[in-house]
Structure 1
Amino acid sequence: MAGDNHAPIYTGDGVTVVSGAGRPPVTSAENLHTLRQRVLADLGQDQVQQQLRSGHPLPVHCRAAPEELTGRRNGARETSAALADASPLDLAGPLRNIAAVYEEERRSRLLVLGRAGSGKTILVRRFAQAWLEDADWTDKAPVPVVFSPGSWDPNATSLRDWLIDRLERDHPFLARRVPHERTWAARLIVTGQVLVILDGFDEMAEDHYPPALRQLGACNLPLLLTSRHEALSGVKPGEGLFPGIELTDLTFDDCCARLDASAGWAPVLDRLSSHGGEPAAARLATVLTTPLMLTMAEAFHASGGDPHCLLKLAESSSQEALEKRLLDSFVPRTYDPLLNLSVPKRRRWSAERAGHWLGYLATHLKKQQADAQKSGPHLIGTQDIEWWQLGTTMSLPARMVVSGVLCGLVSGAAVALTLALMSNPPAALPTMFLNMLAIGLAFGLVHGFASKLKVGGAFKPSRMQIRVRGESRRVRSRRVRESFLPRVGVGLAGGLVFGIVLGGGFAVYAMLLSYPWLVAAVLFGNWLVAGPLIGLAAGVIVALAAWLETDAKPEESVSATDLLRTNRTIVLVQVGVVGLVLGLGYGIAVTHFNGFALGLPSGIGAGLAAASGVGTLTAWGRWVVLVRLWLPLSGRLPWRVNAFLDDARARGVLRQAGAVYQFRHARLRDRLAEAQRPHGQPTEGGSR
């Protein structure tokens, strides 16, 4: 059949793949070009970069990285010295001195060191943007992509495999298959067509430093690594990693050039310039020597703070207290309605509420970090705000209760309403209570089972899309075959747990009503058989639904919201089919043995219970239950979570990294988590 012809066509150094009926060929160069546009779009939305490039330029000073970290092999010292010769680096410029290294050797690797707030992230993100904006860029040059290594466990996953997974998550169109290889993402990584920027090596768990350093030293990928100096102390003497630079403090002239435009800073700067050993002035001057704290000082003054207050605070406080005061001023300034008149009224959250919600997000990341250190190989990123993980700050028992209550409430209310409409109101309330108790308990335990064992990749967002047309029958058949056993296995396991719990609950209830033990045993036995059969049916249905799943198209945008919407569509299709088929089947069976009066409500209840239960075992379903309902009800997040996250990105509090969000700096994240109040949580409402 012509529609099934999708054999690969090789042309030169690239690969052309006809991926389905009616779909144009896809080449490596085209994927690389699309990736470039995506990365540029993400970097172009970075408000921090835009703020730093406006007004007076903010230079970044550097020196050659220490020899114990660079080594002397392959001219590492000479390259490091050549990079440092161009100091200071102009963040508003093209950063040609760094780019020249990559022009000379394709598989170059560079190291950027610096203390917290020294401008490492600003530098590498600006470098990536300048590299891609260069008019001389060609499809043969690697595309710089920023990765946050906080979620990498080098003991369980190789660097290449982890990079491929991140690339497929943030750019799903690269998850398409390539002949003789896994995916396009794997091809681009292995062939060195992605310039890997690992931003924040020090964000990893400390016990992961040694194995990570071994893999970094052995890899030959184009690589740019940022870290604090102390995180790389495990590098063996005499070996080194690769050439690099170390960012140093801003000079007093740099601070004056940035702050002197404001009249309020002039007298303070005069005092700092002639402090003559005055401890308070020297302490404040030291605080302002990093780009992070300098921008925080600008935010402090813009929000109405008097620079003289900082001098007074410096007289009785430590440098750390001064930095915390500056960090605390950022959110009030960012959400000040008088300073953000262009923000739509529907997004004018008060600074207090915004600070509380951001504090919850920061606490969520810190808790993930603590959990990751306890869970060994199941490491969760400490930098990425992933919408499918937001509810995991709640304890597992709490998540089980919330999910179980929702499933029981949906099915129980539907059965009660049906019985009431069928002229049997007395039975409505007891039936609703029993369904809520039994089904809620069963699905709550299934939720805990799936969460604990990570069966079938539970709660991970799918990288596929739902589309009726666009791929050949052969491709769709292969996808069904590949997903059949895993999905059926998950269905059987979940059905077995469901049957044991539900059957046990009915058996206990029968014995409490003084029924013979034989009746209780029959009830338990029936559900012990019915549970796995229901799970098997659900697994088969979801596996067959893979026929409608297709790979993402290159022209489709990728963001946290896009990934959420895509998963919503997939989940609604899956739960809709599962609920319809199981509801009809169970309703017909009950009607055959007990009549239509009992069969109709039983079918409706079974369909809704199956649909809601399967839905809560997906990434989007958990998002709805926990993030869209429970967390807003408890005041920990706003009702319009998506709008709040996107608005925080637009204000420069967060930045977008593919399909996830990140705080603009780890210091801000940690300070928000520290300032989070344990009680008295405000709820949404009032000033916006």
Structure 2
Amino acid sequence: MPESEDPKKVTNNDLRNAQFGGGFINADTVNAQRIGGDIWNLFLGQQLAPVGNPQREHNQRLLLADVKQEVASRLKQSLHNVVLINLGKESQPQQVKRLWDAEVKIGLKPPEPIPDTTRIIDVFDSVDVAGKLLILGAPGSGKTTTQLELAQALVKRAEEQPDCPVPVLFNLSSWKDDRQSITDWLLAELKSKYGVSKKLSKEWVNNHQLLPLLDGLDELEPQRQELCVSIINQFLGSENRPLYLVVCSRSEEYSNYSAQLQLNGAIYLQPLTNNQISDYLTTIKYTKIWSSISSDLDLLELVKTPFLITFHEVIQDGNNFFHAFQIPSNKYSFSS
């Protein structure tokens, strides 16, 4: 079919009668830009402006704007939206296998607590980690939120410094083909999620202009998780190996793998402390809840999980709080 007759072709950003995902686009409600020949940034009535230093390539500034909006939107849905809690972190270098460990014969380095004031960007930038980090934790411990906080700091850095790579969020649960390399998967995800052409994505990956942040390793089918670790390690050892890479996983699943990620460092997110819980409840004006749960060891242990401490999203009063966690509400009393 001649190009002029192909209804799927989009020229000069004219979306009238164009097809996308098998359906027709209404050009009156959708704005779009293009990157590398593909439709880019499809929003209902909204078009993101490029962000960052104008010295950076225009297409990368468009991607940076998209990632910035995604990070901000997802953080609004987390505990971060109410009060930022700097989660406790423990360095666990024994959870990764650095490439030089085979040559340098050293004993297993035990876990070490990281100072409370240390931010995740400080861990990422540390000499030992050098931008290749594994984030571990129990279910609901704040792994994804911690990765989003890191992404936020990296976006800010990329906006200010045009030579810094663009951080991009990926979820490993979409890795469906056991034979697909991480490089090919990244190119496919950049096209499907952000609308970046594979040609341009490949150029960025090869030139180390992207900083992949991988979440959801434990969301893969159990029998495929360890295989994914091996595929990631192949990526880390390839000719186009990334300068920086961050991976998130539940610690229980990860500890069962015979293979370890070939990253430079790993941290384990600690449960909330009593002071953090008390400060959080004071901030959201639920001090009476703290006076009730602080004397109950079972309940106190429950709310040390950051995911469960997001009271502002699950309670309107004491009874709803206990219902959300299947705790008998008649055990406690609240007054407004």
Alignment-derived partner of residue 44 in structure 1: 72
1:40 and 1:103 mapped to 2: Cα distance? 27
1:165 and 1:291 mapped to 2: Cα distance? 33
Give the alignment of 1:456-495 within 5 angstroms. none
Q: How many positions carry a matched residue from both structures?
A: 268
2:325 and 2:154 mapped to 1: Cα distance? 44
2:86 to 31, 34, 59: 59
List per-residue Cα deviations over 1:282-310 (Å, max 9, x = no partner). 22111111111000x23233x23448856
**Which amino acid in the other structure matches residue 178 of structure 2?**
N
Alignment-derived partner of residue 173 in structure 2: 150
Deviation for aligned residue 1:312: 11
List per-residue Cα deviations over 1:501-549 (Å, max 9, x = no partner). xxxxxxxxxxxxxxxxxxxxxxxxxxxxxxxxxxxxxxxxxxxxxxxxx
Deviation for aligned residue 1:135: 7.7
**Which amino acid in the other structure matches residue 125 of structure 2?**
A
2:63 and 2:128 mapped to 1: Cα distance? 20
Q: 1:146 to 1:102 in 2, by over 3 A?
A: farther
1:37 and 1:262 mapped to 2: Cα distance? 31
**Which amino acid in the other structure matches residue 270 of structure 1?**
S
Q: 1:261 to 1:99 in 2, by over 3 A?
A: closer
Provide the secondary structure at the position in 1 that maps to 2:57.
helix
List per-residue Cα deviations over 1:213-250 (Å, max 9, x = no partner). 1111222222100001132245437x653211011100
Deviation for aligned residue 1:125: 0.9
List per-residue Cα deviations over 1:373-409 (Å, max 9, x = no partner). xxxxxxxxxxxxxxxxxxxxxxxxxxxxxxxxxxxxx
Contact 1:131 1:137 in 2 (8 A): no
Alignment-derived partner of residue 140 in structure 1: 163
1:161 and 1:41 mapped to 2: Cα distance? 25
Q: 1:153 to 1:82 in 2, by over 3 A?
A: same
TM-score (norm 2): 0.67
Deviation for aligned residue 1:118: 0.5
**Which amino acid in the other structure matches residue 250 of structure 1?**
L
Q: 1:224 to 1:47 in 2, by over 3 A?
A: closer
Contact 1:117 1:291 in 2 (8 A): yes
Provide the secondary structure at the position in 2 that maps to 1:207.
helix
Q: Does 1:257 align with 2:271?
A: no
Q: 1:139 to 1:263 in 2, by over 3 A?
A: closer
Alignment-derived partner of residue 317 in structure 2: 304
Runs of 5+ consecutive residues of structure 2 not aligned to the other structure = 1-35, 38-54, 237-241, 331-336
Alignment-derived partner of residue 226 in structure 1: 248
Deviation for aligned residue 1:269: 2.1
Contact 2:93 2:110 in 1 (8 A): no
Give the alignment of 1:507-656 within 5 angstroms. none
Alignment-derived partner of residue 147 in structure 2: 124
Give the alignment of 1:661-680 within 5 angstroms. none
User: After the TM superposition, which segments of 4 or more aligned residues of structure 1 sit over 6 Å from their partners?
Assistant: 75-78, 80-83
**Which amino acid in the other structure matches residue 65 of structure 1?**
Q
**Higher share in helix:** 1
Alignment-derived partner of residue 220 in structure 2: 204
Alignment-derived partner of residue 305 in structure 2: 290
1:253 and 1:316 mapped to 2: Cα distance? 24
Deviation for aligned residue 1:185: 0.7
Q: 1:253 to 1:51 in 2, by over 3 A?
A: closer
Runs of 5+ consecutive residues of structure 1 not aligned to the other structure = 1-17, 20-26, 176-181, 276-280, 318-688
- Considering only aligned residues, what root-mean-square deviation do their CA atoms show, in Å? 3.8
Identity across the alignment (%): 21
Provide the secondary structure at the position in 1 that maps to 2:90.
strand
Provide the secondary structure at the position in 1 that maps to 2:71.
helix
Q: 1:49 to 1:99 in 2, by over 3 A?
A: farther
Contact 1:115 1:229 in 2 (8 A): yes
Alignment-derived partner of residue 100 in structure 1: 125
Contact 2:137 2:268 in 1 (8 A): yes
**Which amino acid in the other structure matches residue 254 of structure 2?**
L
1:203 and 1:184 mapped to 2: Cα distance? 29
1:193 to 198, 209, 214: 209
**Which amino acid in the other structure matches residue 192 of structure 1?**
H
TM-score (norm 1): 0.35
**Higher share in strand:** 2
Provide the secondary structure at the position in 2 that maps to 1:59.
coil
Contact 1:113 1:226 in 2 (8 A): yes
Provide the secondary structure at the position in 2 that maps to 1:183.
helix
1:159 and 1:147 mapped to 2: Cα distance? 11
Alignment-derived partner of residue 13 in structure 2: none
2:267 and 2:97 mapped to 1: Cα distance? 13
